[in-house]
Each structure stands twice: as structure tokens, then as C-alpha cells.
Chain A
Amino acid sequence: MLDAVIKFALKQRLAVLATAILLMVLGTREAIELPVDVFPDLNRPLVTVMTESGGLAPEEVEAQVTLPVETALNGLPGLLRLRSSSGPGLSIVYAEFDWGTDLYQNRQLVSERLQLAREKIPRGLNPVMAPSSSIMGEIMFVGLSKGTSQLTPMELRTLADWTVRPRLLAIRGVSQVITIGGDLKQYQILVSAEKIQGKNLTLEDLKHALSEIGMNTTGGFIDIDDKEYLIRALGRIESLEDIQDAFVGLHLGRPVRVRDVAQVVIAHPPKRGNGTVNGEPGVVMTIQKQPAAETVELTRRIEAELLVLKKNLPEGVKLEGDLFKQSHFIENALANVKEALFDGTLMVAVVLMLFLFNWRTTFITLTAIPLSLVITALVFKFFDIGVNTMTLGGLAVAIGELVDDAIVDVENVFRRLKENRQLKEPRSVLRVIYEASSEVRNSIVFSTIIVVLVFMPLFALDGLEGRLFAPMGYAYIISILASLLVSLTVTPALCYFLLGKESAREERDGAFVRTLKNITAKILEHTVERPKMILAGCTVLLLAALSLVPFMGQDFLPAFNEGSATIGLAASPGISLTVSDKKGREVEKALLEIPEVKSTVRRVGRAEMDEHAEGVHWNEIDVDFHKEGRPREEVLRLVREKIKTTWPEVAINLGQPISHRLDHMLSGTRAQIVLKIFGHDIAELRRVGGEIYQNLQDIPGLVDLQVEPLVQIPQLKIFIDKEVAANARLSAGTIAQDLQDLLNGELVGQMLEDQRLVGIALRLDDQTRADPLRIEALPIKQLPTGERVKLSDVANVYQGHGPNMINRENLQRRLYVSANGDGVDLGKLVAEIQKRLEKIPLSEGYHIELAGQFESQQRSSKKMVWLGLIALLGIFLVLFFHFNSSLLSAQIMLNIPLALIGSIAAIWITDRSFSLASLIAFVTLCGIASRNGIMMVSHYLHLMEHEGEKFGRAMVIRGTLERLVPVLMTALTAVLALMPLLFAAGEPGKEILHPVAVVITGGLLTSTLLDLFVTPAVFLAYGEKAALNYLKKQNQSGELL
């Protein structure tokens, strides 16, 4: 069939070339329009359910809100993990679904189950789903600060909430804009405990009266003089004075108004978070994209909108969009990988010219690259695959191999045409090209099948690593198959047009090739009859290489260089927002002194309805660095120093935005190593966490060691004595509810101001609220006897402690201890951790799980080893199918250990650490390395079958020298095309591709060089019987090679 393809391509050569040109045009257009992102879609479908729970303590939030929600969601189809966080006044449940499930169907399922959960949740609390976004969806920050204007924090926040945010939300692709910082505007009715006592009113009276604060209503329609009138009752509160004048009750027969018992002020509600921009107070807006939105394009739209917005803002106000932007990294990374692609192509062209020494053959061979790439782009378009660092990386790795099939074909056609011209009666050019292409098509096809086959394991990887590497595999396989198609169609057609009429003067090899052949011939003279010596030498090299393995480290993925940093500062929980904010700002200002720091955005605590639920002890600073400056490691060391000097007692978690979010997705936390402790008692979890911390803290190379800050924080507790309360005809529940409304505040209405809704809240004034004695003196109820019941009559008010947060995972309470490695081998760190964990006894019902990057690395490495073995078996089967000889198949596979020598040596010289990317490259290398052996052995057999050579020394040397050029060319093009990735460790976008390049380059160099001597010697010593058997079978079947 393949011969028919070649024949067709030669017959319809003009149509083939026209189609190729058409594909170039179409493919180029499609390639430009393909969606662009930094990584493939790594978002596991996640539905977040949030319930603002007033002032409930974490224990109550867990019991009354989180548990019912979790129970309702548990067992949903496709649900992988349920995580929750119960903090003061907030419950967040994260339902993580399996890859490939439909997000909108998941949301529908969650929505249905929430209906059930609502029945079990206290009245007034409403679980809602957060907008459909993703952990990778936080694409940029926008900062609003007063600049040179005189705007107050409240005016700034109002501007952000009611002018900037709606405009940003209206941009197609924006899912959510979360604002933090400034002062949220609220009308507050601050009740004085003394004044309501003086007016003989109770909290109950006040709440009841204010719950009916004015509103507009309708009285339907009325007809007057043939006209219809809408009846409107205009009772809506329209000013602060309206609130002050509102009626709340009677005292001594006279009306009591709000102003008599309370102060009405415009103030901000109790803050649970704040924000700063470049160290200045301001409003930070976090923009999240919709899952399918294209980050770079969306960022451009947002930037355009910000430019328009800037013109409409009050004079002097600063609206900053050039803070952290995911698109910075994406654009940088993609530009770098594109540059690698371009440079790789250039390298390939140089190698081709050097070897072929003929512009026509170079041109024909090089055509395979753009054609294969545009065909890949068309296939991408068809299957809706986007451009990202991994797909581009797949192409960058493949670039050198895209010309391999064409090289083999062109080299053979060129050689056969030269031979043909030397004949007295040259045959038709078309015939020669057809036969030459047909001669090598088997080795081309089988090599390609093997190369494709070894990439298959990538598609069996699951989880994040599968999502990350599979697109690389798609790109590689599609482009390699495209290059095969080009070599079977366009290459022969071009050979006809460009080589068919080539003059006979170019019959000799170039000087470079002649030199190479001479050197090889001389070495072969000494080695071809010494197989044992050659094999022994290779075995020694292999053992030497393998002996290096135990001294190398293990990593999950190479570290990204995002050009930014996410700095988490965890103060001791219980710290007030004011202090945490002040210290965090000091750190931010200190960081801005580092010349490499371009901008900072800081968020402390959390914003309203933000699923990024953190306590006020947590400061998160996102730092954007200048491209120029000192090396990243040095800058980060300086960052650590600055923080330690400015805020010595704070725990630091230093990472990068995207990497941190990937970690978050892997383990639900943001660290390389995570130990999750599960159990039912939060106190015991904390104790075990502390024991683990104490045991691990002196491990060298372990940094950022932290116990999840789930600790005891100060609480002012009111213990209601139910017996005494019952005597006063009060239920503990009613008292608790009243206290919640008054101490925490209750929204009693809303005021419409210029189309903006501003809340009206009722709560105790700060004087009463801030003093435990005054809280104790609060009147709770007036008995029919006229006697007033105070809080202290029925309750103990005391300062105690309680948990700041309760986290759960899969319906169990959980606490984690996390750490990062400071540039050391994660594998060794974890081994030491596991050794030390054995010393810590655990109570019944408690267990520890290892998570984080390391756990993923272990799991995926094991899987890759198994898949690699299966791939090896696959290679063997394909070879056996082709050669019908296990000995010949095994001989070809000798290239694999030869490749291992170079790969391990290359890792040792460069990174000294195995990552998942290295393992994937190893498996890939098995296929690429086998190609050399196939080409060599196939040619020996061809010489014996078609050119009358006898099995022996002369045939082997001739065959080796004839195959020298294509073997060296294919290997060199593959290696040199990887150079731009090899010498770019740590450059954005090339981080994951660098280890791949290291392994393939090292492996191909050793396998190619050693194979030139191993295969001839081994074939000569042990291949005779297998070769003769093969030829015999071929003759019997009448098949050509």
C-alpha cells in the first residue's frame, strides 16, 4: 500500500505539490489563530460552595453548615475529593471532580444536592456556588489607589465596586472580580445598651422595629379619568436622617426614634481583610477568567478596558493593571519556545547543508519541517488542541526528527540517481526515484511506528502529569506522522523536480562526509571483528552510568521561572487584622527596596465571598520582577532576608503563582511535600502536627516547614446557663440569636444611592461591643413583672480559646504539615521524613498521608517505569514483526542501553536530578535510538538480498559506511535541534523541556556513536544465521525488504 502511495505521489507530482502549497497557506492561517495558553487545560473541574455564616465560630460552622453541605454532596457521580474549610463566619466546601467530567453538569448536580442541604442549615444561611472559575484562572490583579487625589478609603472602594468592577465583569471571558481593601460603605445603626435600657426597650423590640424599616410598595392600579395610575407607597429610606427618624417603640407614651437609642453612622462593616498596591493602601481586584477563556487574549481586552476606565476616573486616582499578570509568563514562555523552534530549524538546515553539500537536497529535506508543522496545526484545529508550552515543546523536541524520514529518502534517492547516471543506459528518473523511495520506506515506516509507539505511555498517565504531558505527546506524534506522510509523497515528488535533472558533476560526497567516512572506515577496520571487546567496553560504560543514579535527586517537575513570586506570610493566628496588615505592609515596602522588584500586590485576610479563605493572620504578596537583574535564586534569598528582618516571627512560604496553584491542585495545599494528618479531634491533630514539626525541623535542605495554622485563638465566650435562662423564661437559642445579631450586626435593609445598593446594619455600638463588662450588662429581656434580665444573669462571659479554622477532606478532619526542598533532592528528603515519622506514635483512628508534588512524582514515576517496559516490549514486537528474528530485534534494541549511558551522563553533568520529564524522555529515547539500528541492519540485509553482497566483513563495512551519512544526519539533526532547549535551563517555557532535551541529546550522542561500532561488530559475529534465515523467508514469500 505504501508503495502505491509513493507511486501515486510521483504520478500526480504536480497535484501533490499544489496540495502541499495549499496546506502551507491554510495551515499557517490556522496556526496563527489557534488558542494560546501557558499550559494545556490543567483545571480539574471544581465546584466551590460558600456559605457566609454570620459570626458563627468555626466549630459551629463545621457542625451546622459544612457537615450538611458535605453530606449532601458526598457520593456525587465523578466526585474525586471533597475538601472543606470552616472558619469564623464562613464555610467553604470544594467539590473536586474527575478530569473529563463536564463542569456545567457538575454544577447542576451540586445545585440539586444543595437544595437538600438547605433544609438542614440554620435559617438565614444560604450556601451558594462560587462562579465557575478555576485555580489557574486567577489571571491578573488590578490595583486602585488614591494616588494624588483626596479620595477616602471608602470612596475608593465605592469606585472599585461600582465603577471599575462592573466594567471588568462585563468583559467577555471574565468570570469573577474579587475586591479587597478600602472601606465598604454601610449605614450602621449603633445601638447603645445604656440608652435602650433608659427607654425601657429591649433588643427584641429594636430588632422587630428596624426589620420593618421603610420600603416602597405598590397598591396595584387605579383608573382615574380614563387613565390608569400605578399606586406607589413611597416609604423607602433615602437618607441618613430618614434612618435616624425611624420609629422603634414607645416610652412613657411618647414615640422613640432611632436617634434616641442609637447613633447612625456611615462606616465600614467589620473587616476580615485588606489590600495594598505597591505598599500603598488601595483596593486590589483579582480577576478570574472563565475556564475556556484564552488568557492572553482576555488580558489584552482587560488592558484595553482599563485604558478607557482610566480616562473616566477622578483626577489623580491610580488604576494599575501592570501588576502580576499570568500573560507575562505565557508570552515570555511561548516566545522562548518559538525561538527554540526557529533556532532548532536553523541548526537542522546547517547540518543538512554540511552533510549533503547540495542546496537542492537540503531544500527538499527542509521542506518536511514547515509542511509537517502546518499539517500538525490543521490537526490541532480539527481536534481543538491549543498552542501552549507543552504542544510547542513537543514540536521543538520533534523538529530534528521531522526531517529524518525525508533525509533517509532523499539520501537514498540522491545516491541511486548518481548510480543511475553512471550506468551506460540510465533508467527512467521516475523509476529510480520510486525504487529508491520504496527501498527505504520499510525502515522509515517501522522507525516511525516505533517512535510513535514509545510516546503512547504518555497517554496512560493520569492526573496533572497526564494533562500536562499528553499534549506534548499529541504534538510530537502528529508532527512525526505528518513528516512520514510528507516523506512518502512530497519528498519523492520534489526529488523528481529538483534532483531528476541534476548534472553528473555532483557525484562525489562533500569533503566533510568523505572525512567522516574515512575516519569511520579506519575505526571499523579495528573494531568490526572484536565484538566481545566492544560489548565489554559498552557494558563497563553502562555500569558506570548506572552507578551514578543513586547519587542523583528526584523531582516531580522542574521549577518554573514565572518571573514573579507568591509570598505567603503566616503570622500566629489570633493576631488582629490591624497588626497583621501593618506588619505585612512593612514587609511589602521592604520588598519594594529590592531593585529587581517591579511591583507588589498584597492581600491580607480575605474579601467577602472570596473562595480564597484565609484568616487575618495570612498575608499574601504577589511580586512581579523585572526581567533584568540578578539571578532569581539570589533575588529570592534577598526576599527571604528582607522578610526575616522586617517580621522575624512570621512563617514564610515562598513560591510562584502558577506553581503554587499547581501544588494546590495536587494536594489542596501549596507545597512540594505535604503530610496530611487525618483524625476526628482537632486538638489531637494539632498535637500530632506539632510533634511532626519538632521532629522534622532540623532536616537539612527542608525549608518552609509549616504546620497548617489551625490553632487556638482568643475568643470571648458567652456560656449560657440553660437552667438559669429557663427560670427567666428564656431559651438559650433565642439569647444566642439575639447576641449574634447585635454583636456581629444584622442587615436590616438597603438604601438605594445612585443605583448603588448600600446596606443598613444594626449592631451594638463599639463602646458596648468592645468591653466584656458592658456585654455582660446587656439587657436581654423585660419580664412581665417589669424586671429586666441582663446577660450576666443567665450567662458566664469569659475570655477563652477556640480553633481558628477546621479543615476537612473527604469527610474527615485534616491538618497538614507542609515543606519545600531548598534545591535538594526531594526523594531523599521524603525518605528522611518517613524515617522520622516512624518515631511518632499515632492514636487509634489517626493516619498520615503523603501528598504534594513528591507523592505525584512517586506515583507517576512508578507508572512510567511500567509503561516504559510495556513500550520496550512493543518495540520488540514491532521489530520482530519486521525482521522475523528475535536475535536481530534484540540486536537493534542494543541501542537502548547505549542511549542510557549518554542520558545518565548528561543528567549527571547538568541537573543531577531525575524528573518526570526525564523519565518521559528516556522512554521516548528508546524509540529514537532504535531507528539507527533499524536503518543499519535493514541496509545490511538489502545489500545481501539485492546487491549480491555475501555475508561478511566487507559487506558489513560497506553497509555501515553507506548508512553513515543518514544515521549521523538523523541523529545530529535531532540533537542539534534540541540545543536551544539544552542551553536554556530555567528560561520561562523551557523549564520542562530542558530535561527532555538533556536526556535525548545525551542518549542520542552515545547511541549513535557507539552504534556505529557495536551494530557492525555484533551483526558480523552473531547475525549470520538470523540474516540468512531472514533472506530465506523473504525469498520464500517473494516479498521485498
Chain B
Amino acid sequence: MKFLILALCLSLNAFAHDEGHGPAVKEGGLYGGILASVMKEADLKGNHHAKATVHYKAELIRAQDGTLTLYFLTPDMKKHDLTGFENEVTVKMEVKKGGKYTYVGEFKLTKKDHLFSGKLPAVRTRPFNLDMFPVVNKEKLFIGFSNLD
């Protein structure tokens, strides 16, 4: 019985990631991309993603050539001009292999006018997650994009 409960918890956890990090975003993107909540990294201690305050919403567009474009939107889905954002966003990448996510490396997105962009490293397996860490007014934020392919 214990084994069954453990197996159930593990498998549910695997799919829990599919909903992304932070409070669920129900709106559609402004640029046809994928949306995720942007939270303060400090608020996520104790894994309280779902209850964390949403400071922005982030929209990620991934082009076929691997170019990533990241827009920031206000919580009520208005365009944001990136005032106060530092010029680079650190992105950590992890891939799913054998049912588990493994860290594989990191890269940067650079600010260009009202968006960030950068190049995604080549990846063979799917899905993968991108955890992004923008800094605005010296405050480190967190965005989690899950199950990308």
C-alpha cells in the first residue's frame, strides 16, 4: 500500500510540473507565445509557487532557429517597457530523461528595446524546462517555463 501511495505521489509530481510555476496564467499571450507568471525569487522559498504574488507576466516565443524572445507584461496583460530591468536574464535549462528533469546548462537573454532575446542551445530530447532569473531594480525574479519542446 505504501509503495502504491508513493508511486502515485511521484507520478502526480511529474505532471504537476506541466502546469508551470507560480499561479496559473489563464490568458492567451499578446504575441502568440507561452505565458508564465513572474515572481520574486525570494517569495518562492518553501516552494510556495502557486500562492506567490505575480509581479509581471512573461511571454516566451521560441523561433525555429532557436531564437528566444521574452516579453514582460503587466499582471493585467498590458505591454511593459522593461523600465528598471537589468540588461541580461540568466536562463537555466533542464531536460526530462528517464522520467526526471536534469540540469544541463545555462545561457543569457539580452535586452533589446522592449524585449529580451537570445539563442537556445541545441537540445535533442523533449520536453525541457527553462528557469529564468531577470533582475529588476536589484530584485531577483523568477520565471519557470515548463515542458517546452
Do A and B bind?
yes
- Using a CB–CB cutoff of 8 Å, the interface residues on chain A facing chain B are 572-574, 680-681, 683-687, 689-691, 693-694, 707, 710-712, 717, 719, 721, 772-773, 776, 792, 796, 798-801
Decide if A799 touches B31 in the complex (CB within 8 Å): no
The smallest beta-carbon distance between B117 and chain A, in angstroms, is 10
Decide if A773 touches B15 in the complex (CB within 8 Å): yes
Chain A: interface secondary structure?
Answer: mixed
Known A572-B27, A683-B61: A800·B147 in contact at CB below 8 Å: yes
Decide if B147 touches A799 in the complex (CB within 8 Å): yes
Chain A CB count within 10 A is highest, among B32, B33, B64, B149, for B32
* A-B residue pairs in contact (CB < 8 Å), sample of 19: A572-B27, A681-B63, A683-B61, A684-B61, A684-B67, A686-B33, A687-B33, A687-B63, A689-B31, A694-B79, A712-B29, A712-B34, A719-B127, A721-B125, A773-B15, A776-B11, A796-B96, A796-B126, A798-B127
Answer yes or no: B99 CB below 8 A from chain A CBs.
yes
Decide if B149 touches A717 in the complex (CB within 8 Å): yes
Q: Name the one of A574, A686, A721, A796 contacting B31, with C-beta atoms under 8 angstroms.
A: A686
State which residues 109-149 of B face A: CB under 8 Å: 125-127, 147-149
Answer yes or no: B18 CB below 8 A from chain A CBs.
yes
Decide if A712 touches B32 in the complex (CB within 8 Å): yes
CB contacts (< 8 Å) of A685 on chain B: these are 32
Known A681-B65, A694-B79, A772-B15: A687·B32 in contact at CB below 8 Å: yes
CB contacts (< 8 Å) of A717 on chain B: these are 126-127, 147, 149
CB contacts (< 8 Å) of A719 on chain B: these are 125-127, 149
Cα distance, A532 to B33, chains bound together (Å): 70
Decide if A690 touches B31 in the complex (CB within 8 Å): yes
Q: Which residue of A lies closest to B18 (CB)?
A: A799
The smallest beta-carbon distance between B71 and chain A, in angstroms, is 8
Answer yes or no: B92 CB below 8 A from chain A CBs.
no
- Using a CB–CB cutoff of 8 Å, the interface residues on chain B facing chain A are 11, 15, 18-19, 27-34, 61-65, 67, 69, 79, 96, 99, 125-127, 147-149
The smallest beta-carbon distance between A771 and chain B, in angstroms, is 10
Q: Name the one of A572, A684, A694, A773 contacting B28, with C-beta atoms under 8 angstroms.
A: A572
Cα distance, A406 to B18, chains bound together (Å): 84
CB contacts (< 8 Å) of A796 on chain B: these are 96, 99, 125-127
CB contacts (< 8 Å) of A694 on chain B: these are 30, 79
In the complex, how many residue pairs between chain A and chain B have their CB atoms under 8 Å apart?
85
CB contacts (< 8 Å) of A687 on chain B: these are 31-33, 61, 63, 69
Cα distance, A796 to B147, chains bound together (Å): 10
Chain A CB count within 10 A is highest, among B11, B30, B64, for B30
CB contacts (< 8 Å) of A799 on chain B: these are 15, 18-19, 147
Cα distance, A689 to B69, chains bound together (Å): 14
Chain A CB count within 10 A is highest, among B28, B64, B69, for B28
CB contacts (< 8 Å) of A691 on chain B: these are 31
Cα distance, A684 to B65, chains bound together (Å): 10
Q: Which residue of A lies closest to B12 (CB)?
A: A773
The smallest beta-carbon distance between A169 and chain B, in angstroms, is 40
CB contacts (< 8 Å) of B18 on chain A: these are 798-800
The smallest beta-carbon distance between A706 and chain B, in angstroms, is 12
Cα distance, A1 to B89, chains bound together (Å): 90
Decide if A689 touches B32 in the complex (CB within 8 Å): yes
CB contacts (< 8 Å) of B31 on chain A: these are 686-687, 689-691
Cα distance, A685 to B69, chains bound together (Å): 13
Cα distance, A800 to B30, chains bound together (Å): 18
Decide if A684 touches B30 in the complex (CB within 8 Å): no
CB contacts (< 8 Å) of B27 on chain A: these are 572
Cα distance, A717 to B148, chains bound together (Å): 10
CB contacts (< 8 Å) of B32 on chain A: these are 683, 685-687, 689-690, 707, 710-712
Q: Which residue of A lies closest to B79 (CB)?
A: A694
Decide if A683 touches B11 in the complex (CB within 8 Å): no
Decide if B64 touches A681 in the complex (CB within 8 Å): yes
The 6 closest A-B pairs by CB, nearest first: A686-B32, A690-B31, A799-B18, A572-B28, A719-B126, A800-B147
Decide if B63 touches A690 in the complex (CB within 8 Å): no
CB contacts (< 8 Å) of A680 on chain B: these are 64
Cα distance, A776 to B8, chains bound together (Å): 13
Cα distance, A438 to B93, chains bound together (Å): 95
The smallest beta-carbon distance between A156 and chain B, in angstroms, is 34
The smallest beta-carbon distance between B14 and chain A, in angstroms, is 8
Cα distance, A916 to B34, chains bound together (Å): 44
CB contacts (< 8 Å) of B127 on chain A: these are 717, 719, 796, 798, 800
CB contacts (< 8 Å) of A689 on chain B: these are 31-32
Decide if A800 touches B149 in the complex (CB within 8 Å): yes
The smallest beta-carbon distance between A722 and chain B, in angstroms, is 10
Cα distance, A571 to B142, chains bound together (Å): 30
Decide if B147 touches A798 in the complex (CB within 8 Å): yes
CB contacts (< 8 Å) of B34 on chain A: these are 712, 801
The smallest beta-carbon distance between B102 and chain A, in angstroms, is 13
CB contacts (< 8 Å) of A686 on chain B: these are 31-33, 61
Q: Name the one of A684, A721, A773 contacting B63, with C-beta atoms under 8 angstroms.
A: A684
The smallest beta-carbon distance between A81 and chain B, in angstroms, is 24
The smallest beta-carbon distance between B37 and chain A, in angstroms, is 16
CB contacts (< 8 Å) of A772 on chain B: these are 15
Cα distance, A788 to B96, chains bound together (Å): 23
Decide if B62 touches A683 in the complex (CB within 8 Å): yes
The smallest beta-carbon distance between A845 and chain B, in angstroms, is 11
CB contacts (< 8 Å) of B63 on chain A: these are 681, 683-684, 687
Decide if B64 touches A798 in the complex (CB within 8 Å): no
Known A687-B61, A798-B147: A792·B30 in contact at CB below 8 Å: no
CB contacts (< 8 Å) of B67 on chain A: these are 684
The smallest beta-carbon distance between B146 and chain A, in angstroms, is 8
CB contacts (< 8 Å) of A707 on chain B: these are 32
Cα distance, A717 to B33, chains bound together (Å): 18
Q: Which residue of B lies closest to A724 (CB)?
A: B98
CB contacts (< 8 Å) of B30 on chain A: these are 690, 693-694
Known A680-B64, A711-B28: A792·B126 in contact at CB below 8 Å: no
Cα distance, A573 to B28, chains bound together (Å): 8
- Starting from the known contacts A687-B31, A772-B15, 13 additional A-B residue pairs (CB-CB under 8 Å) come to A573-B28, A680-B64, A683-B61, A683-B63, A686-B31, A694-B30, A707-B32, A719-B126, A773-B15, A796-B125, A798-B147, A800-B18, A800-B148
